Chain A
Amino acid sequence: MAIGVAEGVGAATATRPRRRRPSAYPWWFYAPAAVIFSVLFVVPTLASFYFSLTRWTLFNATFIGFGNFVQFFHDPFLVGGLVHTLIYAVLTSGAKVVLGLLLAVLLSADVFARGYLRAVVFFPVLVSTVGVGITFQALMDPSHGLVNETLTAFGLPGPGWLTNPALALYSIVIVDVWKGVGLATVIYLAGLASIDRAYFEAARIDGASEVEVFWHVTLPLMRPATVTVIILSLIGGLKSFELIWTMTQGGPGFVSDVIASLIYKEYQAGFYGLSTAGNVVLFVLVAAIMVPLSYVLNRREVQQ
Chain B
Amino acid sequence: MRARRYWIGGISIIVSGLVFVVPFIFIVLTAVKDKQAASLLQFSWPSQWQVLDNLKEVIAEQNYMLLTAYINSTIITVVAVVLLVVCAAMAGFVLQRRKTAATGFIDFVVLFGLIMPPSVVPTIWVLQELHLFKTLTGMILIETAYGLPFSVLLFRAFVSTIPRELDEAAIIDGAGPLGVFFRVVLPLLRPVIVTVVVVQSVTIFNDFTNPLYYMPGDQNATVQVTLYNFQSLYDTSYNLLFMNILLITIPPLIMFLFFNRQIVAGMTSGAVKG
Interface residues of A (CB under 8 A from B): 13-16, 19, 21-27, 29-30, 32-34, 36-37, 39-45, 47-48, 51, 56, 58, 106, 109-114, 116-117, 119-132, 134-136, 138-139, 141, 144-146, 149, 178, 183, 186-187, 189-191, 194, 223-225, 227-229, 235, 238-239, 241-242, 246, 260, 263-264, 267, 272, 275-276, 279-280, 282-283, 286-287, 290, 298, 301
Which of the listed residues B121, B149, B274 has the most CB atoms from chain A within 10 Å of its own CB? B121
Assess the A41–B268 pair: CB atoms within 8 A.
no
Q: Contact string, B214-242, partner A, CB cutoff 8 A, digits 1/0? A: 00000000011001100100000010011
Shortest distance between the CB of A242 and any CB in chain B (Å): 5
Which among B10, B27, B94, B228 is the interface contact of A26 at CB below 8 angstroms?
B94
Which among B86, B121, B267 is the interface contact of A275 at CB below 8 angstroms?
B121
Q: A29-B181, A135-B27, A178-B19 are in contact. Are A128 and B146 (CB under 8 A)?
A: no
Assess the B171–A24 pair: CB atoms within 8 A.
yes
Q: A40-B142, A117-B12 are in contact. Are A122 and B264 (CB under 8 A)?
A: yes
Question: Could you say which residues of chain A place their CB within 8 Å of the CB of B122?
Answer: 43-45, 47-48, 51, 276, 279
Question: Could you say which residues of chain A place their CB within 8 Å of the CB of B273?
Answer: 224
Q: Which of B45-53, B63-71, B187-195, B247-255 touches A?
A: B247-255
Which among A27, A225, A242 is the interface contact of B208 at CB below 8 angstroms?
A242
Assess the A146–B87 pair: CB atoms within 8 A.
no
Which among A22, A144, A191, A225 is the interface contact of B42 at CB below 8 angstroms?
A144
Assess the B272–A146 pair: CB atoms within 8 A.
no
Assess the A267–B241 pair: CB atoms within 8 A.
no
Assess the B264–A186 pair: CB atoms within 8 A.
yes
Cα distance, A132 to B228, chains bound together (Å): 11
| B119: Cβ under 8 A from any A Cβ | yes
Assess the B224–A130 pair: CB atoms within 8 A.
yes
Assess the A138–B19 pair: CB atoms within 8 A.
no
Assess the B209–A241 pair: CB atoms within 8 A.
yes
Which of the listed residues B42, B248, B249 has the most CB atoms from chain A within 10 Å of its own CB? B249
Assess the A111–B5 pair: CB atoms within 8 A.
yes
Shortest distance between the CB of A108 and any CB in chain B (Å): 12
Assess the B126–A39 pair: CB atoms within 8 A.
yes
Closest 3 CB pairs of A and B: A112-B9, A224-B274, A48-B119
Shortest distance between the CB of B205 and any CB in chain A (Å): 8
| B36: Cβ under 8 A from any A Cβ | no
Cα distance, A120 to B248, chains bound together (Å): 18
Assess the A144–B9 pair: CB atoms within 8 A.
no
Cα distance, A113 to B128, chains bound together (Å): 53
